Chain A
Amino acid sequence: MNAQNTTEVIRPWAQRGPCCETSETCIEVQNLSVHYHGKQALGGVDLTIPRGCITAVVGPSGCGKSTFLNCLNRMTDMIPGCRVAGSVRLMGQDITQSDTDLISLRRRVGMIFQKPNPFPLSIRKNLTFALKHHGMKRRSDRDEAAKNALRSVGLWEEVKDRLDAPALELSGGQQQRLCLARALVLKPQVLLLDEPSSSLDPVASGVVEDLISQLRGRYTLVIVTHNLAQARRIADHVAVFWTRNGSGQLIETGSVSQVFDSPRHELTATYISGLRG
Chain B
Amino acid sequence: MVWQPGRTDWPDRTVTVVVWLTALTVTGVFLWIVGDVLRHGLSGLSWGFLIEGPRDTGRAGGIGPMIVSTLLVLGVCLAVSVPIGVGTAVWLAEFARGGGLFGRLVRWSLDVLAGVPSIVFGLFGNALFCIYLGMGFSILSGGLTLACMVLPLLIRSCEAGLRAVPDDYRKAATALGLSRSAVLWRILLPAATPGLVVGLVLGIGRALGETAALLFTSGYVDRMPGSLMDSGRTLSVHIYDLAMNVPGGQNRAYATAIVLISLLLIVNVLTSHLADRWLHRRITRT
Size bracket, chain B contacts: 20 to 34
- A166 lies within 8 A of chain B by Cβ: yes
Q: Which residue of the partner chain B has the closest CB to A109?
A: B175
A115-B168, A119-B169 known; A102 vs B286 contact (CB < 8 Å): no
Least CB distance from A98 to B in Å reads 17
A119-B187, A120-B284 known; A105 vs B168 contact (CB < 8 Å): no
Task: Give 1 or 0 for each of B65-104: 1 = CB within 8 Å of chain A CB.
Answer: 0000000000000000000000000000000011000000
- B171 lies within 8 A of chain A by Cβ: yes
- Whether A179 and B286, one on each chain, are in contact in the complex, defined by CB atoms closer than 8 angstroms, is no
- Contacts of B166 on A, CB cut-off 8 Å? 117
- Contacts of B170 on A, CB cut-off 8 Å? 78
Across the A-B interface, how many residue pairs have beta carbons closer than 8 Å? 72
- Whether B177 and A102, one on each chain, are in contact in the complex, defined by CB atoms closer than 8 angstroms, is yes
Q: Which residue of the partner chain B has the closest CB to A164?
A: B286
- Contacts of A183 on B, CB cut-off 8 Å? 175-176
- Contacts of B97 on A, CB cut-off 8 Å? 80
Least CB distance from A18 to B in Å reads 26
- Contacts of B168 on A, CB cut-off 8 Å? 113, 115, 117
- Contacts of B109 on A, CB cut-off 8 Å? none
A103-B177, A107-B177, A130-B177 known; A113 vs B187 contact (CB < 8 Å): no
- B172 lies within 8 A of chain A by Cβ: yes
Least CB distance from A137 to B in Å reads 16
Cα–Cα distance between A117 and B172 once the two chains are bound (Å): 7
- Contacts of B178 on A, CB cut-off 8 Å? 129-130, 133
- B13 lies within 8 A of chain A by Cβ: no
- Whether A80 and B98, one on each chain, are in contact in the complex, defined by CB atoms closer than 8 angstroms, is yes
- A59 lies within 8 A of chain B by Cβ: no
Which B residues from 170 to 213 make CB contacts under 8 A with A? 170-179, 182, 186-187, 190-191
A residues in contact (CB < 8 Å) with B: 73, 75, 78, 80, 102-107, 110-111, 113, 115, 117-122, 124-125, 129-130, 133-134, 164, 166, 179, 182-183, 186
Across the A-B interface, give the 3 residue pairs with the lowest CB-CB distance, nearest first: A106-B177, A117-B168, A111-B175
> 15 A–B contact pairs at CB < 8 A?
A75-B171, A80-B98, A103-B177, A103-B179, A104-B177, A110-B176, A113-B171, A113-B172, A117-B168, A119-B173, A121-B187, A121-B282, A130-B176, A133-B179, A183-B176
